[in-house]
């Protein structure tokens, strides 16, 4: 597995990963209606192409296949962090996060922060993030709980 910078040719794979990862979340965590509001199908390809071009995420590749991605903003905000369901539990998310931490250290950022879904909360907790607030965001008439989380860095 390798982690590399985004290429525009990755867009279709990253859109698929986002949608597949959200829709694979157990219905007991987020309802089908909540998942459809979060990741409507079909995805808005133009929106995603523009977003990915602006955010320039890190991309995890396994056996020449794009398996996951993570967006790290200049201020230490981790926005999207998704792994395709076929690759979950194989260390892809951890590798992406470790890469982001290394980049954040190079940039001398004091902390990383994110808004983690219920599904991602334990992953970020396991990697040293603390919950600072519980939030409810609204998408297409659906309320979705997420958690503001932060990790201090030693730079």
Give the pLDDT of residue 78.
Answer: 98
Each residue's pLDDT tens digit, 113-155: 999 999 999 999 999 999 999 999 999 999 999 999 999 998 5
- Cβ–Cβ under 8 Å, residues 7 and 61: no
Give the pLDDT of residue 154.
Answer: 81
Q: How far apart are CA 146 and CA 40, in angstroms?
A: 18
Give the pLDDT of residue 155.
Answer: 57
Each residue's pLDDT tens digit, 70-113: 999 999 999 999 999 999 999 999 999 999 999 999 999 999 99
- Beta-bridge partners for 117: 146
Give the pLDDT of residue 51.
Answer: 97
pTM of the model: 0.96
- Beta-bridge partners for 152: 111
Which residues, including other chains, have CB under 8 Å from residue 60's CB and lie 6 or more apart?
A: 1, 2, 3, 66, 67, 68, 69, 83, 87, 92, 95, 96
Give the pLDDT of residue 60.
Answer: 98
Q: For 122, left (φ over 0), alpha (ψ -120 to 50), or beta?
A: alpha
Question: Which domains are present in the chain?
Answer: 2-109 (3.40.630.30)
């Amino acid at each position: 597995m390798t982690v590399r910078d985004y290429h525009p040719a990755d867009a279709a794979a990253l859109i698929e990963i986002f949608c597949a990862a959200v829709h694979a979340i157990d219905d007991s965590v987020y309802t089908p209606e909540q998942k459809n509001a979060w990741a409507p199908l079909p995805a808005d390809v133009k929106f995603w192409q523009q977003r990915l071009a602006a955010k320039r995420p890190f991309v995890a590749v396994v056996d020449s296949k794009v398996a996951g991605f993570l967006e790290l903003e200049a201020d230490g905000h981790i926005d999207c962090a998704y792994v395709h369901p076929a690759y979950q539990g194989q260390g892809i998310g951890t590798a992406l996060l470790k890469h982001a931490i290394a980049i954040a250290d190079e940039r001398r950022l004091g902390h990383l922060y994110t808004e983690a879904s219920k599904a991602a909360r334990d992953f970020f907790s396991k990697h040293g993030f603390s919950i600072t607030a519980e939030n409810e965001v609204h998408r297409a008439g659906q309320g979705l709980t997420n958690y503001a989380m932060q990790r201090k860095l030693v730079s």
